[in-house]
Structure 1
Amino acid sequence: MKQLTHQILRKPFFGRFEVPWSWPQAISKQGWESVSIPVTAQYNLAGYWKAAENAKATVVLAHPMGKSAKAFWLRYGHADLLLENGYNVLIYDANGFGESQGFSFAYPNDVYAAGIFAQQKTPNLNIGLLGASFGAAWGLCSLAQEHHPYKMAVLEGVFPTLPEFWKHYPFAHAVLQASNIVVPKFNRELNPLRKSAQIQHAPPILLMYSESDIYTPPKFGHRLKAALEPHTSVQLQTVTQAEHTHIFRDQPEQYQSYVLPFLAQHL
């Protein structure tokens, strides 16, 4: 009954993204290993792992909301960029997306579990986090967990609170507001702004935004930066023109100039 209730509640938010997943046709599968990431005793996340030559660290990629799920990082070149610069890559589907069964709204636990998996796979290397929008928000929340493994995080397009993101989708926003009355814990736990004050182990964070992004404008970043700064070091970078979650695609030189030095410094 609990699982059926979860499936019904997630439909207004994610129903249109829950489609069959397949490996992107234009992308070579060579060197990628299919992996299963434990989250609970009952549920796992589907992922892929690829080792870089002479790897210096490992990066976990938390995808934005969308039908492509973990394929986002393959299609737009983020995975290749990291591999070419000496970083192992772990991509995974958040529960309910891609090849992962939907079982919980506790998405920060997915990011945490992926990090623990990466740490166990490469115990002698530091683990970093790269996330966009949906994945970045829950990645930030995961950093409030006491035993998270992340040494740093690059987070693009993080929203401070769920209502501020979902206001662009009226029906889902109404369901969200109702859930806040019935289950207030839902919005307390899935709240990047609130969790910013609970960050553990002071991992340096790079926040990135686009001035043309209507879903997560730079003002969100300034609020999160102010909340994070008492607890860790934070950089905030903006670009003038890029679609939501697509700074690397639209401004590749700027993206690389921000991200690669940050990774090199902190991993």
Structure 2
Amino acid sequence: MKKIAHQILRKPFFGRFEVPWIWPHAISKEGWEAVTIPLTDQQTLVGYWKSAPEAKATLVLAHPMGKAAKAFWLRYGHADLFLKNGYNVLIYDANGFGESEGFTFDYPNDVYHAGIYAQKRTPELSVGLIGASFGAAWGLCSLAKADHPFKIAVLEAAFPTLPEFWKHYPTAHAMLKISNALLPKLNQEFNPLAKSAQVKYQPPILLMYGEKDIYTPPEFGHRLKVALDRVTKVELKIINDADHTYIYRDFPEQYQESVLPFLERHFV
């Protein structure tokens, strides 16, 4: 009964995105290993792992909201970019997306456990987080968890609060207002802006935004930076003419010039 109720509640928010997942056409599967990421004794996430030759660190890639789920990182080349530059890569589906069964709205917990899996897989290496939109916001929240494993984070198009993101989706936004009234404490837990002030262990953070992004405009980045500046080192990069989550797809040189040196500087 609880599972059915959760599935019903998910529909206004994620129903359109929860479709059968397939490996992206024309992307080689060579070297990719299917993995299972444990959350509890009964709950797991589905992912893929690929090791870089002589890896210098490991990156967990938290996907944006969409039908592609973890395939986003394969389709647009992020995974290949990081592998070529000496980083192991873990991609995974948040619960309810792609190949992962849906059972909770606690997406920061998904990011956290993906990080724990990566750290156990390569205990001798530092672990970093790369997130986009949905994955960036919940990744930011995961940095407020005790014992999170992330030494560094690159967060593209993170939103500060749920209502500000969901205002573009009227039905979901209405449902969110009802849930805020009924479960205020729960919604405080899923608030990236509030969690920014609680980030632990001072991981350096790079915030990235596209100037033409209507869903998560650069103003969101400025607000998050103000909160994060109190607890860690933060850089904010705004890319002219870029749309939501497509900085690397449309402006690969600018993405690389921002992200790769940032990783090199802060991974130790």
TM range (shorter): over 0.9
The one-letter amino acid of 2:148's match is H
Partner of 1:16: 16
Partner of 2:210: 210
Aligned 8 A contact 2:211 2:240 in 1: yes
Structure 1 residue 2, shift from structure 2 partner: 1.5
Partner of 1:175: 175
Mapped partners of 2:118, 2:67: distance in 1: 24
Aligned 8 A contact 2:52 2:84 in 1: yes
| TM value normalised by structure 2 | 0.99
Aligned 8 A contact 2:94 2:110 in 1: yes
Mapped partners of 1:216, 1:21: distance in 2: 26
- Structure 1 residue 119 and structure 2 residue 119: aligned? yes
Q: What secondary structure, in the 3-state scheme, does the structure 2 residue paired with 1:69 have? A: coil
* CA displacement 1:109-133 (0-9 Å, x = unmatched): 0000000000000000000000000
Q: Which runs of 5+ in 1 are unaligned?
A: none
Mapped partners of 2:42, 2:114: distance in 1: 16
The one-letter amino acid of 2:78's match is H
The one-letter amino acid of 2:54's match is N
- Structure 1 residue 231 and structure 2 residue 227: aligned? no
- Structure 1 residue 107 and structure 2 residue 107: aligned? yes
Structure 1 residue 184, shift from structure 2 partner: 1.3
* CA displacement 1:215-260 (0-9 Å, x = unmatched): 0000000000000001000000001111200000111111000000
The one-letter amino acid of 1:186's match is L
Aligned 8 A contact 2:211 2:243 in 1: no
Q: What secondary structure, in the 3-state scheme, does the structure 2 residue paired with 1:91 have? A: strand
Q: What secondary structure, in the 3-state scheme, does the structure 2 residue paired with 1:60 have? A: strand
The one-letter amino acid of 2:130's match is L
Partner of 2:92: 92
- Structure 1 residue 32 and structure 2 residue 38: aligned? no
Mapped partners of 1:251, 1:23: distance in 2: 24
Aligned 8 A contact 2:57 2:125 in 1: yes
Residue pairs, 1:1-267, within 5 angstroms = 1-267=1-267
Structure 1 residue 183, shift from structure 2 partner: 1.2
Aligned 8 A contact 1:241 1:250 in 2: no
Q: What secondary structure, in the 3-state scheme, does the structure 1 residue paired with 2:154 have? A: strand
How many pairs does the alignment contain? 267
Q: Which runs of 5+ in 2 are unaligned?
A: none
Mapped partners of 1:14, 1:114: distance in 2: 21
Q: What secondary structure, in the 3-state scheme, does the structure 2 residue paired with 1:105 have? A: coil
Aligned 8 A contact 1:165 1:216 in 2: yes
Mapped partners of 1:59, 1:239: distance in 2: 23
| TM value normalised by structure 1 | 0.99
Mapped partners of 2:37, 2:185: distance in 1: 26
Q: What secondary structure, in the 3-state scheme, does the structure 1 residue paired with 2:70 have? A: helix
Alpha-carbon RMSD: 0.6
Structure 1 residue 188, shift from structure 2 partner: 0.5
Structure 1 residue 25, shift from structure 2 partner: 1.8
Mapped partners of 1:162, 1:85: distance in 2: 34
Percent of pairs with identical residues: 72
Mapped partners of 2:40, 2:161: distance in 1: 26
Q: What secondary structure, in the 3-state scheme, does the structure 2 residue paired with 1:49 have? A: strand
Structure 1 residue 185, shift from structure 2 partner: 2.4
Mapped partners of 2:194, 2:11: distance in 1: 26
Mapped partners of 1:49, 1:223: distance in 2: 34
Structure 1 residue 186, shift from structure 2 partner: 2.8
The one-letter amino acid of 1:19's match is V
